[in-house]
Chain A
């Protein structure tokens, strides 16, 4: 692996965008940055600039007004990037299934890599999701070691040669 692709998973920067959620999951995302759960020990920093972001943490069933903004943010984020849909709203829009003004989940607007269940998703589940996203990222890069090739199918993603 090149030095750049070795270092990228070690310090992914996140961008958090709320597309219409009730703020429960947003506060759990913010709780990640605070002393109890502290994801800064993984090198994760909350940078609100899409050009600096590696992982997009999206909450909320995408409301109709936010749809264009979400797509613009996704397009502005440079590849490679990962999208984590936090909470039941972002995964399927489930709590608001009878409401009329949303798109039923983030994956109807942009491709999603990791879904986090829960209403509101707990911070431990969010840390698990970010770690899973980083593992998925490692697998996307060229030059796997033998051990990584072996562990890949266990984690549930395909190993690309």
Chain B
């Protein structure tokens, strides 16, 4: 007769940064079932966004601090679809640079968090040291480490001088060898492989059933990336880009996808900085938007969608935010099934949960 127990992973836990409640039912040391309880991070942002469409450029950033620029860019793009305003070429490239810088900070955070969850503190410190460099690069371009506050309807709010662009390129190129060293660790280190290979598998059929997006989907064989499609596609600016995907579907594949995407993001940033030409940073727009529109963007965790209905006044009728973590977190129940209890933090963090995005 196997002994059963129920262990709560409460909202406050050493492994998780964010309030998420998991009730794990164990049989001896294996997980028999998981109950997920969300809502600890629900502030009511969709309600607050209906008040003022101009304030939303800043409020949308505060949905999540890790992918904040992606939120405000997607919101700006949705309003640009409503009003028909096209952002200028320089604005598109500056947005690309900041989007990819934020992707690097997010992926190094995720990988450092996974290292910390498996007890590999030294590697956690290494990832965060690399992350610090990109936080300072973001600070140099926008003035802020976390919430860049750079977006507006039709473009960006601040420009970057040619000296700053050269300095940023130089620092990014200097950081590439260190990031490649870390990629070698993720690919070959025996501790990392023992803790992540074959752990927390999600097959392609399950991934399609749960409609997962982002690195979780790309690690399970679904090669879709929003950066290839739509009117914000990178190819329209002349940037060469191919999505990275794998077929194994386990935690190691997710980590490798993120690590390779980090290196790819630095290359995309360098390409975008080299393509910058003189020009205005925003297209003009007057008045209030009216109509409906939506936009999708590839946030670090997956596809982010904003649907906006504007009514010609200072407020909006409806804003719907569909964040990637919202669809990536429910499959945890299937991923944790039958796993060892000690692997639960590693699997949960390998999905890169962003509860603030899920709950909004």
Contacts and interface: CB of A to CB of B under 8 A. Distances in A.
A48 B40 contact: no
Contacts of B95: none
B78 interface: no
A102 B47 CA distance: 13
Interface residues of B, number: 40
Nearest to B49: A98
Interface in A9-61: 15, 17-28, 30-31, 34-36, 48, 60-61
B132 A99 contact: no
A122 B147 CA distance: 11
Contacts of B45: 96, 99
A95 interface: yes
B7 to A, nearest CB: 15
Interface residues of A, number: 37
B11 interface: yes
Interface in B44-64: 44-45, 47-48, 51, 58-59, 62-64
B14 A24 contact: no
* Main DSSP-derived SS at the B contact region: loop
B145 interface: yes
Contacts of A25: 65
A18 B147 CA distance: 18
B39 interface: yes
Interface string A54-91: 00000011010110010001000000000000000000
A97 B45 CA distance: 10
A100 B42 CA distance: 9
Interface of B: 10-14, 17-19, 39-45, 47-48, 51, 58-59, 62-66, 68, 109, 124-125, 128-129, 131-132, 135, 145-147, 354, 356, 359
16 contacts: A20-B359, A21-B65, A22-B64, A22-B65, A22-B68, A23-B65, A27-B66, A27-B109, A48-B13, A63-B19, A65-B40, A66-B19, A69-B40, A96-B43, A97-B48, A98-B48
